[in-house]
Chain A
Amino acid sequence: MNLAIIKYNAGNIGSVENAVRRLGIEPLVTDNVELIQKADRVIFPGQGEAHSTMAYLKAHGLDQVIVNLKQPVLGICIGMQLLCRHSEEQDTDCLGVFDVDVKRFIPQRHEDKVPQMGWNTIEDVKSPLFEGFSDKEFVYFIHSFYVPTCDWTNATTDYIQPYSAALHKDNFYATQFHPEKSGKVGERILTNFFKIK
Chain B
Amino acid sequence: MLAKRIIPCLDIKDGQTVKGTNFVNLRHAGDPIELGKLYSEQGADELVYLDITASHEGRKTFTELVKRIAQEINIPFTVGGGINELSDVDRLLNAGADKVSINSAALRRPELIDEIAKNFGSQVCVVAIDAKCENDTIHENGDPMIDGDWVCYVNGGRVPTQYNLFDWAKEVNERGAGEILFTSMNHDGVKKGFADVALRRLADSLTIPVIASGGAGAKEHFRDTFINGHSDAALAASVFHFGEIPIPELKQYLASEGVSVRL
Q: Which residues of A contact B (CB under 8 A)?
A: 11-12, 14-15, 18-19, 21-22, 47-49, 107, 110-111, 113-121, 138, 140-144, 158-159, 178, 180-184, 186-187
Q: Which residues of B contact A (CB under 8 A)?
A: 1-3, 5, 40, 45-46, 70-72, 74-76, 93-94, 96, 98, 120-124, 178-179, 203-204, 206-209, 230, 232-233, 262
Q: Residues of B contacting A110 with CB < 8 Å?
A: 203-204, 230
**Chain A at the B interface: mostly helix, strand, loop or mixed?**
mixed
Instruction: Please determine whether A119 and B5 come into contact, CB atoms closer than 8 angstroms.
Output: yes
Q: Residues of A contacting B46 with CB < 8 Å?
A: 118
Provide the bound-state CA to CA distance between A159 and B1, in Å. Answer: 7
Instruction: Please determine whether B123 and A47 come into contact, CB atoms closer than 8 angstroms.
Output: yes
Instruction: Please determine whether A181 and B232 come into contact, CB atoms closer than 8 angstroms.
Output: no
Instruction: Please determine whether B71 and A113 come into contact, CB atoms closer than 8 angstroms.
Output: no
Q: Residues of A contacting B204 with CB < 8 Å?
A: 110
Instruction: Please determine whether A113 and B74 come into contact, CB atoms closer than 8 angstroms.
Output: no
Q: Residues of B contacting A114 with CB < 8 Å?
A: 207-208
Q: Residues of B contacting A49 with CB < 8 Å?
A: 121
Instruction: Please determine whether B98 and A181 come into contact, CB atoms closer than 8 angstroms.
Output: yes
Instruction: Please determine whether B233 and A187 come into contact, CB atoms closer than 8 angstroms.
Output: no
Instruction: Please determine whether A18 and B70 come into contact, CB atoms closer than 8 angstroms.
Output: yes
Q: Known interface pairs A49-B121, A140-B76. Does A117 touch B70 (Cβ–Cβ under 8 Å)?
A: no
Instruction: Please determine whether A14 and B1 come into contact, CB atoms closer than 8 angstroms.
Output: no
* Complex partner residue of A186 from B3, B74, B232, CB under 8 angstroms: B74
Provide the bound-state CA to CA distance between A143 and B124, in Å. Answer: 11
Instruction: Please determine whether A181 and B123 come into contact, CB atoms closer than 8 angstroms.
Output: no
Provide the bound-state CA to CA distance between A187 and B96, in Å. Answer: 18
Instruction: Please determine whether A183 and B75 come into contact, CB atoms closer than 8 angstroms.
Output: yes
Q: Residues of B contacting A180 with CB < 8 Å?
A: 74
Instruction: Please determine whether A117 and B40 come into contact, CB atoms closer than 8 angstroms.
Output: no
* Complex partner residue of B209 from A11, A12, A118, CB under 8 angstroms: A118
How far, in Å, is B254 (CB) from chain A's closest CB?
A: 13
Which residue on chain A has the smallest CB distance to residue B94? A14
Q: Known interface pairs A14-B96, A118-B2. Does A113 touch B207 (Cβ–Cβ under 8 Å)?
A: yes
Q: Residues of B contacting A181 with CB < 8 Å?
A: 74-76, 98
Instruction: Please determine whether A118 and B232 come into contact, CB atoms closer than 8 angstroms.
Output: yes
Provide the bound-state CA to CA distance between A49 and B258, in Å. Answer: 36
Instruction: Please determine whether A107 and B207 come into contact, CB atoms closer than 8 angstroms.
Output: yes
Provide the bound-state CA to CA distance between A111 and B4, in Å. Answer: 11
Instruction: Please determine whether B74 and A115 come into contact, CB atoms closer than 8 angstroms.
Output: no
Instruction: Please determine whether B70 and A11 come into contact, CB atoms closer than 8 angstroms.
Output: no
Instruction: Please determine whether A117 and B75 come into contact, CB atoms closer than 8 angstroms.
Output: no
How far, in Å, is B38 (CB) from chain A's closest CB?
A: 13
